[in-house]
Structure 1
Amino acid sequence: MALASVVATLGPMGTDAHAEAQRHFDQVILTDTFSAAVEAALLQQTYALVAAGFVERDRAGVITGGWVDLHFRLLGRLEVADTWVAPTKQMCLASHPAAGVLRSVALHPATQVFAETFAPAADRRYVDAKPAAVQLAARGEVDGCIGSVDVATQAGLTVREVFEPTMVWCLYRPVTNPLQPAGTRANRC
């Protein structure tokens, strides 16, 4: 069932966020980060769809933020309108067809556990979305990636392992009374 409204979420096309947003909304605004998605939602007074499992890391792999940081920063500006659990798109460890042993993998920070499971010795290169990881592997800049099966296959990569976890999705909407933080009641004792 599509809602007759607009949602902002993580792009580019091919992300799990994009696929999930298309299942529920008529129009999807794609942004570079979940932080940018919530800012777009605030600016346009519309919804933002954020994966509860998202983690931000810098290129060196240092955690710079995640869902809880974003959620708490939104206090008084956006509120949770709904949450649900849904399977992600099928994910995979994929490699450039010429790659043998994977010495390096590109991945979105939230998928690090899969790199640890399927390519534990590989150096990691963090990107902002799984489609970007696939592109690095397709260009041969890394030996492999953690990506979505459909995107990896379209890019001509060899799929080595397939898995499909679930994700918790948080739908945010602008707070209707910005002077009163979300979740508070004026008549509390």
Structure 2
Amino acid sequence: MRETIATLGPIGTDSHKQAERLGVDVSLHETFQAAIEHAKRYATKLLVPAGFKETRGGKQFSWVDFHFENIGSVELEKVWFEDTMPMVLLHKSYRAIAIHPSTSSLVPDLEKYEHIRYTSSKVEAYQLFKQGEASAVITSKCITNEKSDQAYIKSQFEPSMVWCLYKMKNSSE
């Protein structure tokens, strides 16, 4: 039976890219919480970046929260660092920004935006920008439209990330 790793989707996220590099089946989920629940239910492995953040129950939930909350049920199997895909801040106005919570520190003037819409991925954030539901976004550069988005690039980023591969305790390899 081929090994499966649960992580954040959709296709095109940094998590998806890292999981695929491991040469396994990848189970993509809309949120890390959904990936965590899948991994526990089906005893699959779980790939989580150390920069993971999302909102759960109205509160920020991060990698450290996950790690300590699940200390009895998950085991850290492998850790490595790898650059994320290059990112850009596309900015038309301060009306609304669509942003994944983990990238919010990259926007020094975040408080200037009238509305901040947190998304489950940079892919989703970019879709909102393209649909006109956001006037700014941080997203992976590779999914932007080189021609139509070029004029809106305000900043570019090339951060590295620590990746954590977990296995469920008491699960066979």
Please give the TM-score of this superposition, normalised by the length of structure 2: 0.86
What residue number does 1:165 align with? 159
Corresponding residue SS for 1:28: strand
Secondary structure in 1 matching 2:97: strand
> Within the alignment, does 1:107 sit opposite 2:103 as a pair?
no
| Equivalent of residue 139 in structure 1, options 128, 131, 141 | 131
Partners in 2 of 1:126 and 1:155 — Cα distance?
A: 26
- Specify which of 112, 125, 130 is matched with residue 121 of structure 1: 112
Give 2:121's aligned amino acid. A
Equivalent pair of 1:55/1:63 in contact (CA under 8 Å): no
Aligned identity (percent) is 37
Q: How far has the Cα of 1:6 moved from its partner?
A: 1.4
Normalization by structure 1: what TM-score?
Answer: 0.79
Closer, same or farther: CA 115–42 of 1 in aligned 2, 3 Å: same
Q: How many residue pairs end up in the alignment?
A: 167
- C-alpha distance in 1, partners of 2:62/2:159? 19
For residues 155 and 107 of structure 1, do their structure 2 counterparts lie closer, same or farther at Cα, with a shift above 3 Å needed? farther
Shift of 1:156: 5.1
Distance 1:91 1:63 in 2: 26
State the alpha-carbon separation in 2 of the partners of residues 120 and 64 from structure 1: 17
Q: CA deviation at 1:10?
A: 0.4
The superposition leaves residues 22-52 of structure 1 with CA deviations (integer Å, 9 ceiling, x where unpaired) of 1113211001111221221122222100011
1:150 to partner: Cα distance: 1.1
Counterpart in 2 of 1:12? Answer: 10
Q: Distance in 1 between matches of 2:101 and 2:145?
A: 21
For 1:34, give the aligned amino acid. Answer: F
Unaligned runs of 5+ in 2: none
